Structure 1
Amino acid sequence: MITYLGRRASHSILSVIGLLTLVFFLTRLTGDPSALYLPLDSTAEARAAFARLNGLDQPIHWQFLGYLRDLLQLDFGESLRQNRSAMQVALEAFPETLKLAVVAITLSTALAILVGSLAAARPGSIFDRVASLVSLAGASAPDFWVAIVGILVFAVGLGVLPTSGTGSWAHWIMPTFVLMLRPFGLLVQVVRGTMLSALASPYIKTARAKGLPRQKIIFGHALRNSLLPVVTVAGDLATSL
């Protein structure tokens, strides 16, 4: 057990280091930060001063080592846009982010259970085929791409939804839909697969032989015994939102 825990811990540490390294170099590939945070007509001297102030004039390997050193000291630096602690900015947004994640995973799980159960109850039907197609599309579509398309269509093009903020229910529609799409698609497939296995079980055949109503068989017997893998997958998906 100790060996297993040690191996899992080492794998987790390597994953965290790899993720931090990826984040660092991806942010450097986006271009010159001074072009994003300084006016377009800023002088070369101003850009050089900006780079020197934020340590961007150092070689990339020294920047990376300083980045790791600060992380080990729990120093996450300052937001270049707001000129204050990056941790403070993140903590201020955390309650709304957590609320959005809870709403998204709750709605996607409930909707996926309903759709997946109905699809498994009629395998091969039009509803089953449409549900499978929609769920596969939702599970495959990148979240960031769906968000960009949503902003372009509903915020910029039609002007019916805001692009950001939390002032009213309209602010929740687009981010909730974007976060729901992938979990919904994956969970529909899980629910459908487990329900098909459950509906083919001997105890379901016995329930049918007793003349129990179809709805009670599906939602009262098969679904109840199929929820364990659904809850497990939903928990894993909730941590990734």
Structure 2
Amino acid sequence: MGLGMKMGDVLLYQNELGDTLKLKLIAGTKPSVFQGYIIIANNHFLKNYPSSSGSNIFLVGGAAENETAIGEELQLVFRDYGWEMESAAKRLVEFYSVTNTYLSIFLALGALGLILGTVGLAVILARTILERRREIALMQAIGFTKKSVFKLLINEYSLLLLSGVLIGFITAVVATLPAFLSTNTDASFSTVAIVVTLILVNGVVWITGLSWFSLQKKSLINDLKTE
């Protein structure tokens, strides 16, 4: 619960008469417009706060397409009472504004990580292929065609790419699963799918490009001389 308490705990309040009011928590609500409120029976509330003039919060139901018309009508009827109307969806978004801000920050950091990862992937692949130039030259010398070597490199590095993305995806889902299960967050599986797709496409492009480029060198066979 948002209060940091559990069912069965007791809240202590001071009522209008100066007496200590003990409220036992017997249930909680899922994320809703009642967040931040203690719900008690009306007769108990009036007993402890007799000067209360009545309700000052109302829940209004209606079709979504009639929301504007309902709001205008109620505003007209209750204009002398300082009427303010707010949609339930907007109120829930305000409750989760801090959470959504953190998610936006992490998304921005993720985008930055994707950019840095792109550069890092290119550097690592280039260095790895450079270190394997003698191995590649040896395979060509014993009869491997450029096409077969190219496929071998693609398969090896693609397997590493898929393994890394899969491990990262699983850990990320476990860490952010509560946010995805909440109906009041901006997080969506489509965003994750787009990011994962970009990572895979980026990796495949670098793997394909660097592997192809490494096999275009005319001096590969000459690398055997230094073996």
TM-score by length of 1: 0.30
TM-score by length of 2: 0.31
Structure number with bigger Rg: 2
Bigger fraction of residues in helix: 1
